């Protein structure tokens, strides 16, 4: 411990702590989508509170990522901390096989109440990818129980992202999802083009024709269509027409194919509606939620479905749905999720998202028209600057940190998805820095 007031000792100790972390990390840790022992820079974190991440060296970064979109109420929130502490005093965990408890049942009740009406059956899972696996397995078991065992494939959209486990990966974009690495192992799914009709615009027949043709021609082998409603997230931050989504729903009805809406990124208000399906006024047959479910405290997700799908699965041998995670319905995670949902609904969240949307729109507007910028788009609390070239990552990451913000671009995209509690001043700083960085990148181009 540094002596109080020993000004020169504290930074040394902090630097040593940071160095120790980085050395051990480089020797043993894997980071998301990285090579072990990669030389890419890492920034050791000491703590986080509100919309700020504090590095071990004392620098504070305004958070523009909500830690991959899940920390909607900011870090270290007193109400969520309290919910966690109270639940810890009762039990951190108990198995969900043969037992039930208030945190899980209360959460299930909230999810049923908040999501589209036909979704009344809830399966709690450990992570988003698992929720997608569960939705796909439910669709497969449903078709088998309904006497259509040949319906084993899925149709998804190019540019989609649904998680990193094998079956979830099989419905991700085949190019960015690197399907060729897993040739022969991944199930071969059916891919419709990325929806071209823009958000806020109608979807003319030509813009749905390819998808409609694929659903019709593959109907006898399709268990379900799976898509991210309105916003394709990690596959490219692409916003598309609500009318397109409504038409896919209608096509699924015509061809008796299930519709899985993956709301893991869009759920809990991010797009300006509580769930993105609401933009189109549709209800899917299955829905997955995750990410923001616990306000970013613990990993938890859920798969919801209709009474009909659940009853059909139960009607045929073996009469049960074949999935049961060890940590299913973890009470600690559920208690925090309940507090997070209550916190969200206790605010005028919709006006707040509109506030963030307006600030993102105004703040990112100067990027429009810069050389090297292909598009600037904003929907709800999502602001995206799409560049012509991939972002030079380590360089740009360091630039953002040097400017005191945490923004993590991917591919050709620099985007902001801040916590909902972000202040006007913090948001202004985030958008200013994005403009400065984009401007710097465009100045470097010939
Ligand atoms: C993040 C994400 C997933 C995967 O969730 P994990 O918790 O990372 O497994 C699946 N679908 C969508 C739309 C996502 O954004």
Which pLDDT score, from 0 to 100, does residue 5 have?
Answer: 43
CATH number of residue 353's parent domain:
3.90.1150.10
Angle at 250 between CA 246 and CA 254, to 5 degrees: 170
Q: For position 412, what pLDDT does the model report?
A: 97
Q: 7: pLDDT confidence band, cut at 50, 70 and 90?
A: very low
Cβ 233 under 6 angstroms from ligand 1:
yes
If phi > 0 it is left, if psi is from -120 to 50 it is alpha, else beta; for residue 391 that is: beta
The answer as to whether 19 is a domain residue is no
Active site (annotated) includes residue 291: yes
User: In this structure, which residue's CA is closest to atom 6 in ligand 1?
Assistant: 128
Please tell me if the CB atom of residue 228 comes closer than 6 angstroms to any atom of ligand 1: yes
Burial class (CB in 10 A: 0-12, 13-18, 19+), 426: buried
Per-residue pLDDT tens over the stretch 100-115:
999 999 999 999 999 9
One domain for residues 55 and 159 = no
Given 310, 345, 380, the domain boundary residue is 345
Q: Residue 76 phi/psi, 5° resolution?
A: 55, 50
75 flagged as catalytic: no
Domain boundary among 298, 314, 345: 345
**CATH code, 333:** 3.40.640.10
- On whether both 118 and 266 belong to a single domain, the answer is yes
Query: Cα(262) to centroid of ligand 1, in Å?
Result: 8
Same domain, 322 and 340: yes
**Which among 347, 272, 287 is positioned nearest to 132, based on CA atoms?**
287
Residue 24, in any domain of the structure: no
Instruction: Enumerate the H helices of 52-170 as residue ranges.
Output: 66-69, 78-90, 102-114, 128-145, 166-170
The pLDDT value given to residue 1: 42
Catalytic site residue 161?
yes
Q: Is residue 15 in a domain?
A: no
Ligand 1 centroid from CA 439, angstroms = 31
Indicate the SS3 state at residue 304: strand
User: Per the domain annotation, does 157 fall within a domain?
Assistant: yes
Total domains in the chain come to 2
Which residue among 345, 370, 401 closes a domain?
Answer: 345
> Does 137 score more than 50 pLDDT?
yes
Greater confidence (10 vs 264) lies with 264
Q: Are residues 271 and 386 both part of a single domain?
A: no
Per-residue pLDDT for 305 more than 70? Answer: yes
Does residue 285 contact residue 303 with C-beta atoms inside 8 Å?
A: no
- 318: preceding bond cis by omega (within 30 degrees): yes
239 shares its domain with 334: yes
Domain match, 305 and 366 both: no
Element (H, E) at 192: strand 190-192
The reply to whether ligand 1 has any atom less than 6 angstroms from the CB of 64 is no
- Expressed as residue numbers, the domain containing 395 is 43-76+348-444
* Model confidence pLDDT, tens digit, residues 176-189: 888 889 988 999 99
218 & 281 share domain: yes
CA 234 to ligand 1 center in whole angstroms: 8
Nearest C-alpha to atom 5 of ligand 1 is from which residue? 128
Give yes or no for residue 4 having a pLDDT over 50. Answer: no
**Per the domain annotation, does 105 fall within a domain?**
yes
Q: Report if residue 10 sits inside a domain.
A: no
23 lies in a domain?
A: no
Please report the pLDDT score of residue 342 as a whole number.
98
Within 10 angstroms of residue 277's Cβ, the number of other Cβ atoms is 26
Residue 101, number of CB atoms within 10 A of its CB? 16
* Cβ–ligand 1 contact at 96 (below 6 Å): no
- 210 and 314 co-located in one domain: yes
Which of these is catalytic: 63, 243, 262, 285? 262
Handedness of CA 325, 330, 334, 337 (dihedral sign): negative
Residues 440 and 293 in one domain: no
Q: Quote the strand ranges of 341-440, DSSP E.
A: 373-379, 382-387, 405-406, 413-416
Residue 169 — very low, low, confident or very high, per pLDDT cuts 50/70/90?
Answer: very high
pLDDT, mean of residues 187-212? 97
Query: What pLDDT is recorded for position 38?
Result: 85
From CA 267, how far away is CA 110, in angstroms rounded? 13
* pLDDT at residue 111, as a whole number: 98
User: 238 with 384, same domain?
Assistant: no
Asked whether residue 340 falls in the same domain as residue 220, the answer is yes
Output the pTM of the full model: 0.96
Measured CA to CA in angstroms, residue 357 lies from 156, 326, 382, 383, 384 at distances of 28, 39, 7, 8, 11
Residue 121 is assigned to a structural domain of this protein: yes
Query: Do both 189 and 279 map to the same domain?
Result: yes
In percent, how much of the chain has pLDDT > 70? 97
pLDDT (tens digit, 9 = 90+) per residue, 248-286?
999 999 999 999 999 999 999 999 999 999 999 999 999
What residues are paired with 224 via a beta bridge?
Answer: 154, 258
């Amino acid at each position: 411990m540094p002596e109080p007031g020993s000004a020169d000792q504290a930074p040394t100790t902090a630097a040593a702590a940071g160095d120790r972390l980085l050395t051990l990390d480089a020797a043993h840790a894997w980071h998301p989508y990285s090579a072990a022992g990669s030389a890419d820079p890492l920034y050791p974190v000491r703590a986080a509170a509100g919309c700020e991440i504090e590095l071990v060296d004392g620098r504070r970064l305004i958070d523009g990522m909500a830690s991959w979109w899940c920390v909607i109420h900011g870090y270290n929130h007193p109400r969520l901390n309290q919910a966690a502490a109270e639940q810890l005093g009762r039990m951190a965990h108990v198995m969900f096989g043969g037992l039930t408890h208030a945190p899980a049942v209360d959460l299930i009740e909230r999810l049923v109440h908040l999501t589209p009406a036909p979704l009344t059956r809830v399966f709690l899972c450990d992570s988003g990818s698992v929720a997608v696996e569960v939705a796909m397995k439910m669709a497969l078991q449903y078709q088998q129980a309904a006497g259509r065992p040949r319906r084993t494939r899925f149709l998804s959209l190019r540019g989609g992202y649904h998680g990193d486990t094998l079956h979830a990966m099989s419905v991700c974009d085949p190019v960015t999802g690197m399907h060729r690495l897993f040739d022969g192992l991944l199930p071969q799914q059916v891919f419709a083009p990325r929806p071209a009709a823009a958000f806020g615009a109608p979807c003319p027949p030509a813009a749905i024709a390819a998808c409609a043709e694929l659903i019709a021609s593959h109907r006898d082998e399709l268990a379900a269509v799976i898509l991210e409603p309105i916003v394709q997230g990690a596959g490219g931050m692409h916003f598309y027409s609500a009318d397109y989504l409504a038409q896919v729903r209608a096509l699924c009805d015509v061809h008796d194919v299930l519709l899985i809406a993956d709301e893991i990124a869009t759920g809990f208000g991010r797009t300006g509606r509580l769930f993105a399906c609401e933009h189109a006024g549709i209800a899917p047959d299955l829905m997955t939620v995750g990410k923001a479910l616990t306000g970013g405290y613990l990993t938890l997700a859920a798969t919801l479905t209709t009474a009909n799908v659940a009853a059909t699965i139960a009607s045929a041998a073996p009469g049960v749905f074949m999935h049961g995670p060890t940590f299913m319905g973890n009470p600690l995670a559920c208690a925090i999720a309940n507090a997070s949902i209550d916190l969200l609904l206790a605010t005028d969240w919709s006006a707040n998202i509109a506030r963030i949307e307006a600030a993102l729109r105004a703040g990112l507007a100067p990027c429009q028209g810069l050389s090297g910028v292909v598009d600037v788009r904003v929907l709800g609390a999502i602001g995206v600057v799409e560049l012509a070239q991939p972002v030079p990552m380590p360089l740009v990451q360091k630039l953002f940190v040097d400017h005191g913000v945490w923004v993590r671009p991917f591919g050709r995209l620099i985007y902001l998805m801040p916590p909902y509690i972000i202040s006007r001043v913090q948001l202004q700083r985030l958008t200013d820095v994005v403009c400065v960085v984009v401007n710097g990148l465009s100045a470097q181009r010939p």
